[in-house]
């Protein structure tokens, strides 16, 4: 195996795939990257047995071969080289020789045959859509995934394909985020898969705000996203996601409308005084205004008032301020509606004129 490549052409793929590699591995080979070289292409692969990422880089000419090298070391070397450097790699028995200008490195390798392969995707469905669309609905919902929960299916993102629609949903039991976009796919039956938390994070890093299409393959046990220069594969969580339709309030009777940015800034200021552990704040909603109150065990207090369109009985309700700020950060509209049923029910946040994204936040007792 022998090839020459510009530092900049290799650095970005190395940074992308190295993020998949865990710092502590059960198997030494999982700390390595698989380098596969054909006459005109280098592919770099990383896996942790749950997620696999393959980057393909064109080469002018190469001597074919395969090996694996320590991910962190080869990335750190490439990152430390001068801009514009030309890097050559030659495999000699069980050593990889790297040369760049007057720099020389020799890295130990492990056999490529020992590198694990992700199982071949069985069955499933294929759909094609712009990168920006897929990234958008994932970014608008991923923050509501559980971090740690005995209900393991909540530590992931629901991806649902239905006739004419593609949806994502995440919940940690205290809040829920939902987004949908129209799709040309026409499955005979709706399909739901749950992508694990790490897979979602890697997917967000990989996707760009670009109209370039990606192909999504939804198999029985895996999801695969195929881009022009990379292929992402992740195992799916085997579980049944809660029925999100039962969680989203459909009968809100009290609706307050406010400027999204003004509300976000007021909440950020009140959050400074809120209890650091529980982050609770109180909403007092009355005619044409929302008053935000915060306090903490040190007896500090905060009060913020913003203008709002609201007609109806006065309402007081508590929330985790972080959940509200996450939802407001995902909403793109200039104005936001907050729908209430009563002081004991969840609130529904939406952008004015955009019902494709909905955010549900459960109340807190303060």
Express each pLDDT in 179-194 by its tens digit. Answer: 999 988 888 888 999 9
Quote the pLDDT of residue 148: 87
Determine contact, residues 225/213, Cβ cutoff 8 Å: no
CATH of 254-361, one of 3.10.150.10, 3.40.47.40, 3.30.70.360, 3.40.50.970: 3.10.150.10
For residues 130 and 134, give the distance between their C-alpha atoms in angstroms, rounded to a whole number: 7
DSSP state of 230: E
Domain boundaries, the chain: 2-114, 125-246, 254-361
- pTM for this entry: 0.92
Percentage above 70 pLDDT, the chain: 99
Q: What is the pLDDT of residues 225-256, one digit of tens each?
A: 999 999 999 999 999 999 999 999 988 889 99
- Mean pLDDT across the stretch 50-54? 95
pLDDT of 124 strictly over 80: no
The pLDDT-based confidence of 286 (bands split at 50, 70, 90) is very high
Residue 215 has pLDDT above 90, yes or no: yes
Alpha carbons 306 and 256: distance in angstroms, whole number: 11
Examine the pLDDT at 89 and tell me if it is beyond 90. Answer: yes
Q: Please, which pLDDT band fits residue 213 given cuts at 50, 70 and 90? A: very high
Residues 294 and 270: beta-carbon distance below 8 Å: yes
Q: What pLDDT is stored for residue 25 in this prediction?
A: 82
- Residue with tokens 């006459």, as numbered in its chain: 39
Percent residues over pLDDT 90 in the chain: 86
What residues are paired with 230 via a beta bridge? Answer: 55
- 254-361: same fold as 2-114? yes
Dihedral sign for Cα atoms in the order 202, 203, 204, 206: positive
Instruction: Return the CATH fold of 2-114.
Output: DNA Polymerase III; Chain A, domain 2 (3.10.150)
Q: Pick from 44, 46, 87, 88: which is nearest to 66 by CA?
A: 44
Q: DSSP class of residue 122?
A: P
- Please give the pLDDT value at position 250: 85
Q: What's the pLDDT tens digit per position in 301-345?
A: 999 999 999 988 999 999 999 999 999 999 999 999 999 999 999
The rounded mean pLDDT for the chain is 94
pLDDT score for 323: 97
Is 125-246 assigned to CATH 3.30.70.890?
Answer: no
> For the chain, how big is the Rg over CA atoms in Å?
25
Closest residue by Cα to residue 255 from 350, 179, 114, 131: 350
> How distant, in Å, are the alpha carbons of 8, 11, 89 from that of 83?
7, 10, 17
Asked whether 96 and 87 are in contact (CB, 8 A), the reply is: no
Q: Which pLDDT belongs to residue 42?
A: 97
The pLDDT of residue 251 is 83
Q: In what order do the strands lie in the sheet with 230-235?
A: 65-70, 32-37, 41-47, 51-58, 230-235, 222-226, 213-218, 125-130
Q: For the chain, how are helix, strand and coil distributed in percent, rounded to 5?
A: 20, 45, 35
Asked if the model's pLDDT at residue 120 lies above 80, the reply is no
Rounded Cα distance, 14 and 99, in Å: 17
State both tokens at 316.
Answer: 């007081």
**Structure-model confidence comparison of residues 279 and 36, the more confident one:** 36
């Amino acid at each position: 195996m022998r090839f020459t490549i510009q530092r900049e052409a290799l650095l970005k793929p190395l940074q992308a795939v190295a993020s998949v590699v865990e710092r502590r591995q059960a198997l030494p080979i999982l700390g390595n990257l698989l380098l596969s070289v054909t006459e005109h292409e280098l592919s770099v692969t990383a896996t942790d047995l749950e997620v696999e990422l393959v980057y393909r880089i064109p080469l002018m000419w190469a001597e074919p071969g395969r090996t694996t090298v320590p991910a962190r070391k080869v990335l750190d070397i490439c990152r430390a080289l001068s801009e514009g450097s030309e890097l050559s790699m030659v495999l000699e028995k069980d050593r990889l020789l790297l040369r760049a200008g007057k720099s020389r490195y020799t890295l130990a390798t492990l056999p490529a045959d020992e590198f694990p392969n992700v199982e071949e995707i069985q069955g499933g469905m294929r759909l094609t859509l712009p990168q920006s669309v897929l990234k958008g609905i994932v970014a608008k919902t991923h923050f509501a995934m559980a971090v740690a929960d005995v209900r393991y299916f909540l530590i992931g993102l629901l991806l649902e394909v239905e006739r004419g629609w593609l949806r994502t949903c995440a919940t940690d039991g205290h809040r829920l985020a939902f987004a949908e976009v129209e799709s040309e796919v026409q499955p005979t039956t709706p399909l739901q898969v749950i992508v694990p938390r790490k897979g979602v994070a890697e997917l967000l890093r990989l996707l760009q705000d670009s109209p370039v299409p990606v192909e999504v393959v939804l198999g029985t046990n895996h999801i695969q996203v195929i881009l022009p220069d990379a292929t992402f594969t992740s195992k799916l969580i085997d579980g049944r996601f809660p029925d999100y339709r039962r969680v989203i309030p459909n009968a809100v009777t009290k609706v307050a409308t406010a400027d999204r940015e003004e509300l976000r800034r007021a909440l950020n200021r009140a959050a400074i005084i809120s209890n650091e552990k529980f982050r609770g704040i109180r909403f007092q909603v009355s005619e044409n205004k929302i008053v935000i109150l915060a306090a903490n065990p040190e007896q500090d207090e905060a009060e913020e008032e913003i203008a709002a369109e609201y007609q109806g009985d006065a309402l007081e309700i508590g929330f985790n301020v972080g959940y509200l700020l996450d939802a407001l950060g995902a909403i793109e509209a200039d104005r936001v509606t907050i729908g209430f049923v009563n002081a004991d029910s969840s609130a529904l946040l939406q952008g004015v004129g955009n019902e494709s994204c909905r955010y549900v936040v459960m109340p807190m007792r303060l």
